[in-house]
Amino acid sequence: MIKHIYRMFNKLRFKQKLVLSYIAVIVIPIMVLGVYSYTQSKSLLGNQAKQSIERNTAAVAENLNYKIERFNSFLNIILYNATIQRIVGGKYSDYVNLSRNLNDFLSPFFNMVISLNKEIKQITVYTDNQIPEFGSLIASYHRVEEEEWYKDALQKGRTTWYYDQGHLFAVGKFPTLFTGTYNSVLHMSFYEDKLFVSAGELLQGYGVLVADREGRVVYANKAASGIDIGQMPDDDNTIAHIGGERMIVIRKPISQAGWTFYSFVPVKQVSQNASSILRATLVVISICIVILAALVSFFARTMLHRIHLLNGWMKRVENGELDLRVHSASQDEIGVLTNRFGNMLLRLNELITAVYRNQIKQREAELLALRWQINPHFLHNTLSFINWKAVDLRADDISYMVTTLSKFYRTALNNGESLISVRDELENIKSYIDIVLITSQFGFDVVYNVDEEAERYWMINLLLQPLVENAVKHGVKKKAAGERGEIRIAVRVTGDTLQFAVSDNGPGMKEDKAAAIVGLQSEGYGLRSVNERIKLFFGDEYGITVRSVIGEGTEMTVTIPLRTQDNIVKN
């Protein structure tokens, strides 16, 4: 494993090795320190949040204890009030005194207690004394004698809190000091939401649940709705899975009612508060990394600048810029390497120049051999004799044909020179076209469009004749019967280049064939030879391009640089 890592490291570039070294030395410790700081801060924040939840829960539980203790006091005040006991347990021979006691004392007293305590919904005395029921204040025990809480109240004799079928109430039995043998029970019902309002105000965002001693839910806020009381832990302060989620659960007893108060908060909600610590940690780490990146960049530019410079020179040479001059005044290893590369480039240029000249000479030799296949002197004498005989016989068409042919060969041979003016090259191609028109009985039309400025430039000769020959052979001669062929020859100056365009209205060819036709080997002196001559003489960016559309025709374009007689390269 270590050997594999070592081999991979050796394959990296020097800058990458430098960056990795800085990362190993600086970034990793910074990251470890940042993660440690964040973890510790998050743990501390979690403990603080847990303590805060516990304090709030204890405050709410204490508040409920206080309220219940206060209501227990009110119940005891009522239960042990001698007047109320006499009213409830008295024997009445007529109802006048009862009505006076109820209207003048009991009803105002109960209403006062209810008005002073907004949490109390109703106060009712259930008794087996045979006194008539009085509104909601006095009721017969028959109404509740089957209720479990009523039976418990008679047996226990102490104040007890109950939650049954959505109703929250407290029950206490009147002592028999003044009630005699009658059993009377005080029933005080409460508004649930008002009693537990402090839990909702102080524990916003918490889940709040209150259970009685039998494990029945007395109160649950919206956040605790649907929670099974059986999931609540017995521990006072712990983390438990409730409803499929990890919760911080705080458990507090409400001793005055015999209830258990639970508050719980999702752990992830507490963790969200650590986002500020995370952001601060990330900011510090980012600043350190930015500073590190700046230092690495500075050292990289300082140490690797000349290596990058040498690499740039090599890329330029790789892209064909062989005339580049490379030299360094530095005496260190990089300077020595740079100078050796420069010397190697000079030697390479010399070899390329030699090979290039040899290729040009080889092509020119091939062309010269082609020219010398015809004996110029013999050909001139023969054509002159034929022209004299044609004039003597008054055969003007033969005389014109011979004169044109003589003119064509004179410009084609060009006194053995490979360079020719554009004007003479055009004269040569016009002579060639005139001969072809005569031999084809003027079966097509020719249109010339020559930029006069172009005639003053020079070029290598015999570039256009193969193009025109192809336009005739594969273009106008393949027109359908009855259709007139046309060849257009255009010469124009475009920027710093000279363009010759030979187009026909023949049948055209497919795109792939048009793209490959310049590279095809043909008999005689074809397009391939012309294209190679152009590239050898002027460079690879020049040559022949072919554009053709089926049914519309073909256009062949020769592009060469602008050269005058003074600055064109001669062999």
Q: Average of pLDDT values for 343-368?
A: 72
* Span 134-153, pLDDT tens digits: 888 888 888 888 888 888 88
Q: Average of pLDDT values for 286-314?
A: 74
Copy the structure tokens of residue 430: 């016009």
Q: Domain extents for the chain?
A: 322-373, 417-561
Q: Is it the case that residue 543 has pLDDT exceeding 80?
A: yes
Q: Average of pLDDT values for 202-228?
A: 76
pLDDT-based confidence at residue 274 (cuts at 50, 70, 90): low
Query: According to the model, what pLDDT value does residue 557 have?
Result: 94
Copy the structure tokens of residue 371: 């020219």
Average per-residue pLDDT for the chain: 78
Tell which wins on pLDDT, 131 or 177: 131
Best-predicted range by mean pLDDT (77-91, 215-229, 529-543): 529-543
pLDDT-based confidence at residue 9 (cuts at 50, 70, 90): low
pLDDT-based confidence at residue 561 (cuts at 50, 70, 90): very high
* Span 407-453, pLDDT tens digits: 666 665 555 567 888 998 898 888 888 888 887 888 889 999 999 99
Q: Is it the case that residue 343 has pLDDT exceeding 90?
A: no
d(CA 435, CA 181): 152
Copy the structure tokens of residue 195: 């009693």
Tell which wins on pLDDT, 111 or 193: 111
Q: Is it the case that residue 550 has pLDDT exceeding 70?
A: yes
Query: According to the model, what pLDDT value does residue 530 have?
Result: 86
Report strand pairing: 138-140 vs 120-127.
Answer: parallel
pLDDT-based confidence at residue 366 (cuts at 50, 70, 90): low
Taking the CA atoms of 559, 562, 565 and 566 in sequence, report the sign of the dihedral they define: negative
d(CA 366, CA 353): 20
Query: According to the model, what pLDDT value does residue 361 have?
Result: 66
Query: According to the model, what pLDDT value does residue 86 have?
Result: 82
* Span 22-55, pLDDT tens digits: 677 777 777 777 777 767 777 776 677 777 778 8
pLDDT-based confidence at residue 275 (cuts at 50, 70, 90): low
Share of the chain above pLDDT 90, in %: 10
Residue 176 — φ and ψ, nearest 5°?
-90, 15
Query: According to the model, what pLDDT value does residue 234 have?
Result: 72
pLDDT-based confidence at residue 562 (cuts at 50, 70, 90): very high
* Span 218-272, pLDDT tens digits: 887 777 776 777 777 777 667 777 766 777 888 888 888 888 888 887 777 666 5
Beta bridge partners, 561, equal 497
Taking the CA atoms of 284, 287, 291 and 297 in sequence, report the sign of the dihedral they define: positive
Q: Is it the case that residue 201 has pLDDT exceeding 70?
A: no
pTM confidence score:
0.43
Contacts of 282 (CB under 8 A, 6+ apart): 34
Tell which wins on pLDDT, 299 or 562: 562
Query: According to the model, what pLDDT value does residue 571 have?
Result: 44
Q: Is it the case that residue 66 has pLDDT exceeding 90?
A: no
Residue 460 — φ and ψ, nearest 5°?
-85, 145
Query: According to the model, what pLDDT value does residue 525 have?
Result: 47
d(CA 447, CA 435): 16
* Span 464-496, pLDDT tens digits: 888 998 899 888 888 877 788 999 999 999 999
End-to-end CA distance of the chain: 65
* Span 167-181, pLDDT tens digits: 889 999 888 765 556
From the list 431, 406, 419, the residue with the least C-alpha distance to 462 is 419
CATH tag for 417-561 (out of 3.30.565.10, 3.40.50.150, 3.40.50.410, 3.40.50.12710): 3.30.565.10
Tell which wins on pLDDT, 363 or 211: 211
d(CA 263, CA 485): 100
Query: According to the model, what pLDDT value does residue 136 have?
Result: 84
Q: Give the position of tokens 């999931």.
A: 231
Tell which wins on pLDDT, 369 or 363: 363
Lowest mean per-residue pLDDT among 6-15, 142-151, 220-229, 336-345: 6-15
Q: Average of pLDDT values for 274-287?
A: 73
